[in-house]
Amino acid sequence: MHEKTGHPEEEVTKLTGNYMKLKIQGKMENCENCAIGKMRQKNVPKGPKEKSTKPGHRMYIDLKSSKYTSTGGSKYWCLAVDEATHMKFSMFLKQKSDMKERLVPFLKELQHTYGVKVKHIRCNNAGENRALEDLCIEKDLGIIFEYTAPGTPQQNGVVERAFATMLGKTRAIMNGAGFD
């Protein structure tokens, strides 16, 4: 009866049986299919355990593509977020491969102009991030890259949430200005 009525709890199974004028007796045993249905994946660690309080210690970076090309010819949005200050830095790129040419001068500017040395960069395992790491090694920037596991955007949640927040604000501004 439990299986035929869609695996409800014991009380609902008995009430349904009584309604159908069936005599249901005894205690319901644990249903293996219900146990399988309630299983879930193990929690994925979301990021480093220690949160940085020093600006520049850890930066989260990611790249989003758009189905539209901007008036400046950009199709990609690169966002870097500082873990300690939550300061966000946007760069708009025409190609994914432009990321390393834009981020390395930005990282050098942070260090030389503002005295902020980036120690760690957390990003996904995409090719453009590997190329960025290679260029950072070549330029002797001393940055440690932390790569997230494939298919786990929650491990880079700081920048993923920043994208969503900034995109929502941008839509609101564009809507308020009368753009569709």
- pLDDT tens digit string along 89-147? 999 999 999 999 999 999 999 999 999 999 999 999 989 999 999 999 999 999 999 99
- 82, pLDDT greater than 80: yes
Superfamily of domain 58-176: Ribonuclease H-like superfamily/Ribonuclease H (3.30.420.10)
Q: Which residues contact 117 (CB under 8 A, 6 or more apart)?
A: 56, 110, 111, 142
Cβ–Cβ < 8 Å for 60, 171: no
Please, which residues bridge with residue 88 across strands?
81
- 152, pLDDT greater than 70: yes
Strand order in the sheet with 58-65: 88-93, 76-82, 58-65, 120-123, 144-147
HEC string of 102-148 equals HHHHHHHHHHHHHCCCCCEEEECCCHHHHHHHHHHHHCCCCCEEEEC
At 28-55, the pLDDT tens digits run 888 888 777 777 766 656 666 678 889 9
Assign 77 a pLDDT band (cuts: 50, 70, 90): very high
What is the token pair recorded at 144? 């440690």
Percent of the chain with pLDDT over 70: 94
Q: Can you give the residue ranges of every domain in the chain?
A: 1-40, 58-176
CA dihedral defined by 58, 88, 64, 153, rounded to 10 degrees?
Answer: 40
Assign 1 a pLDDT band (cuts: 50, 70, 90): confident
Q: Which residues contact 27 (CB under 8 A, 6 or more apart)?
A: 10
The SS3 of residue 65 is strand
